[in-house]
């Protein structure tokens, strides 16, 4: 029997043993552990090079390799661990057996046969390394702190408090045991397409196969509601548009998350306030922000500078600039926005009403906006026949004069494409669409785009209406899958996962910590712009309040206002028709 066979038998004999949860004490951040490990690795290299006579320490080398890869979410195999030992293979296998017998190494089967597996540090090893890193850091502070400086400001010759980068996702301490793997229903937008591209990496993180089904926005809602009617859910996690939270909660399609997990594990305070609040209904969380993508006002900084114009902060300024840049004969247009019939225009109108300080329902005013905490009680009245809604409708009519000729069929992606091509000077667009020009080296808008909240109309204030998708657990998910679904939900919405999405092309992030990450802030000025809007409390979700009938309300507005833009009806008549239909929709609970 070979050393490898003996090692495999030894490891397999431990397969059924109960394992403690793997984790590190809260006082040591993973970034601190990695920084200390890097210091120890560098120091060991220097010591080895300083003397001609030296002997490798395979235990230390393999332990360092295991801990680093665990923190970085990378796979460790017996061969790779043996290679890191710095000793002959047979010797490395024996040392691995010693570490396994001592309870320092655990293995995880990669296949049903158990012939292939990955290696992971045990809870005792991680705890030991956490204590070691803490001691090393304190020794470094005590021995090398610069005179006159605080010890905590000095760390191995550098600034310890200069800011830490979020580390890659870690492998879950226990693999998910979901028959058939983890099943997710997602929206087919750029962020979730990034998740699809990272599927293999996340399969290593959760320890099981991942299957995703992606749908367009309207089909996603249909499938989510259809899934709720099934005896057992086809999905462990589903994505919903933020305005649907009320509908999915009221119809029993989603499970209140406080029934299946400790909400504090999500670190609620790290989420953008508007995004986190938007996932609640009746004071209870029904989903976790998977992406927070505010709709911003995009403008070409270079064109405004050449024209001697200031960035537009009001709707009147937008119209003046749009007329200035509108030159159809040259193929240039003032502005692009969502004007396609139905869902697209409905969203635009509701957010435009908010620009004029008018919510689409009679919400009570509070500091910084409007109160949505009582939406679950019902008794709402549409406010589409108000002066604020009329001002919003007239603004959209004025935008028509400076828009591309195909504006009435322009929706989510179509409005950003002409902006990216340099055909329009301004556009309203979600942050998730920014890669269309930021990642295109040939786009005239790349590196020349300014990001603003929606310019304010009369009676309004600058706001950035929050959109995006949230992830929840279906209420009809079999009980035996609930715990693992909750673990997966935490993993997919963690800061580590969110940073990974951004690094691979996404421009949505629901957490403050992700927006503050120094690695990401260097990618785009968008991060600074959105974080400043968040701290100014300009990120708001009340423009599209998540009442159960919101989809019907949006559709009504999108059809009535489209007839108005086509010149079939006058603004006041279109609003009165929308008001009457929305009142009926609320009374009949028609969704």
Residue with tokens 């706001």: 463
> Of 542, 228, 527, which is closest to residue 375 (Cα–Cα)?
542
Residue 459 CB neighbours (<10 A): 12
pLDDT of amino acid 111: 64
Q: DSSP state, 264?
A: G
What ranges make up the beta strands (E) of 130-236? 182-187, 210-215
Residue 79 burial class via C-beta count within 10 angstroms: exposed 0-12, middle 13-18, buried 19 and up: exposed
Which segments of 344-412 are extended strands (E)?
A: 365-366, 369-370
pLDDT tens for 404-437 read 999 999 998 899 999 999 999 999 999 989 999 9
pTM over cut 0.85:
no
- Cβ–Cβ under 8 Å, residues 468 and 292: yes
CA distance 275 to 242: 8
pLDDT at 589: 59
Equal fold, 3-143 vs 182-292+468-515: no
- From 179, 197, 291, 189, select the one nearest 236 (Cα to Cα): 179
State residue 550's pLDDT score.
94
Count Cα neighbours of 110 within 13 Å in the Cβ-side half-sphere: 14
Note the pLDDT of residue 160: 33
Distance CA 76, CA 227 (A): 38
What's the pLDDT at 112?
A: 62
Residue 240's DSSP bridge partners are 470
Distances 556 to 46, 383, 486, 504, 591 between C-alpha atoms, Å: 70, 13, 36, 37, 11
CB-based contacts of 540, cutoff 8 Å, min separation 6: 274, 354, 368, 369, 463, 464, 465, 466
Distance CA 431, CA 470 (A): 16
Give 21's contacts (C-beta < 8 A, 6+ positions apart): 123, 173, 174
309-320, pLDDT tens digit by residue? 999 999 999 999
Q: How far apart are CA 534 and CA 577, in angstroms?
A: 36
CB 511 within 8 A of CB 272: yes
Q: Phi and psi of 142, rounded to 5°?
A: -70, -40
Give residue limits of the domains in the chain: 3-143, 182-292+468-515, 293-462+540-587
SS3 45: helix
Distance of CA 62 to the CA centre of its chain: 34
Class for domain 3-143, per CATH? mainly alpha
Residues found in the chain: 591
- Which pLDDT score, from 0 to 100, does residue 145 have? 55
Segment holding 239, helix H or strand E: strand 237-241
Q: Write down the pLDDT at residue 1.
A: 45
Q: Which CATH superfamily is domain 182-292+468-515 in?
A: Periplasmic binding protein-like II (3.40.190.10)
Concatenating the DSSP letter of every residue in 121-157 gives: E-HHHHHHHHHHHHHHHHHHHHHHPPTTS-GGG-BTT
pLDDT computed for residue 136 by the predictor? 81
Instruction: Mention every residue, 6+ apart, whose C-beta is less than 8 A from residue 477.
Output: 232, 233, 235, 236, 255, 485
pLDDT digits (tens, 9 = 90+) for 52-98: 667 788 898 899 888 888 876 677 888 889 888 888 888 989 999 99
Using 50 as the pLDDT threshold, list the residues of the chain that sit under it. 1-27, 146-163, 590-591
pLDDT value of position 462? 95
Model confidence over 515-567: pLDDT tens digits? 888 888 888 899 989 988 987 889 999 999 999 999 999 999 999 999 999 99
Helix 550-565 with 571-587: angle, nearest 10 deg: 160
- CATH class of the domain defined by 293-462+540-587: alpha beta
């Amino acid at each position: 029997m070979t050393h490898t066979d003996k090692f495999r038998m030894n490891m397999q004999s431990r397969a059924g043993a109960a394992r403690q949860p793997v984790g590190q004490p809260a006082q040591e951040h993973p970034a601190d552990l990695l920084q200390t490990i890097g210091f120890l690795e560098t120091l060991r290299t220097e010591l080895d090079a300083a003397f001609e006579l030296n002997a490798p320490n395979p235990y230390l080398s393999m332990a360092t390799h295991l801990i680093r890869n665990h923190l970085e979410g990378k796979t460790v195999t017996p061969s790779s661990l043996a290679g890191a030992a710095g000793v002959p293979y047979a010797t490395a296998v024996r040392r691995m057996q010693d570490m396994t017998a001592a309870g320092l190494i655990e293995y995880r089967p990669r296949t049903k046969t158990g012939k292939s597996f990955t290696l992971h540090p045990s809870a005792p090893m991680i705890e030991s390394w956490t204590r070691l890193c803490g001691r090393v850091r304190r020794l470094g502070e005590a021995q090398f702190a610069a005179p006159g400086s605080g010890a905590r400001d000095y760390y191995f010759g550098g600034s310890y408090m200069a800011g830490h980068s979020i580390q890659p996702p870690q492998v879950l301490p226990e693999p998910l045991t979901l028959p058939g793997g983890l099943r997710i229903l997602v929206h087919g937008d750029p962020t979730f397409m990034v998740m699809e591209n990272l599927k293999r990496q996340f399969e290593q993180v959760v320890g099981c196969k991942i299957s995703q089904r992606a749908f367009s926005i309207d089909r996603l809602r249909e499938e989510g509601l259809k899934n709720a009617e099934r005896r057992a859910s086809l999905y462990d996690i589903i994505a919903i548009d933020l305005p649907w939270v009320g509908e999915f909660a009221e119809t029993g399609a989603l499970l209140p998350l406080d029934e299946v997990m400790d909400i504090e594990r999500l670190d609620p305070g790290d989420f953008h306030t508007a995004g986190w609040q938007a996932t609640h209904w009746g004071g209870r969380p029904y989903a976790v922000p998977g992406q927070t993508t505010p709709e911003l006002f995009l403008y070409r900084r270079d064109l405004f500078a050449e024209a001697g114009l200031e960035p537009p902060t009001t709707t009147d300024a937008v119209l003046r600039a749009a007329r200035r840049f509108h030159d159809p004969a040259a193929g240039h247009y003032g502005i692009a926005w969502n004007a396609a019939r139905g869902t697209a225009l409905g969203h635009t109108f509701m957010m435009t009403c908010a620009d004029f300080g008018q919510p689409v329902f009679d919400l009570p005013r509070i500091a910084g906006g409007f109160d949505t905490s009582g939406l679950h009680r019902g008794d709402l009245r549409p406010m589409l026949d108000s002066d604020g809604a009329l001002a919003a409708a007239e603004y959209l009519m004025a935008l028509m004069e400076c828009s591309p000729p195909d504006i009435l069929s322009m929706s989510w992606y179509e409005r950003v494409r002409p902006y990216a091509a340099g055909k329009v000077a301004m556009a309203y667009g979600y942050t998730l669409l920014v890669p269309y020009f930021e990642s295109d080296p040939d786009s005239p808008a790349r590196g020349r785009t300014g990001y603003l909240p929606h310019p304010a109309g009369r009676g309004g204030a600058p706001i950035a209406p929050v959109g995006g998708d949230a992830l929840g657990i279906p209420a009809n998910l079999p009980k035996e899958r609930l715990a693992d679904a909750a673990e997966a939900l935490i993993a997919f919405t963690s800061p580590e996962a969110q940073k990974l999405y951004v690094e691979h092309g996404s421009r949505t992030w629901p957490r403050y910590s992700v927006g503050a990450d120094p690695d990401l802030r260097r990618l785009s000025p968008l991060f600074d712009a959105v974080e400043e809007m968040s701290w100014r409390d300009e990120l708001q979700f009340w423009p599209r309040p998540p009442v159960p009938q919101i989809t019907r309300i949006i559709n009504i507005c999108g059809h009535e206002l489209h007839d108005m833009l086509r010149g079939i009806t006058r603004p006041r008549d279109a609003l009165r028709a929308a008001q009457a239909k929305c009142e009926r929709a609320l009374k009949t609970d028609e969704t």
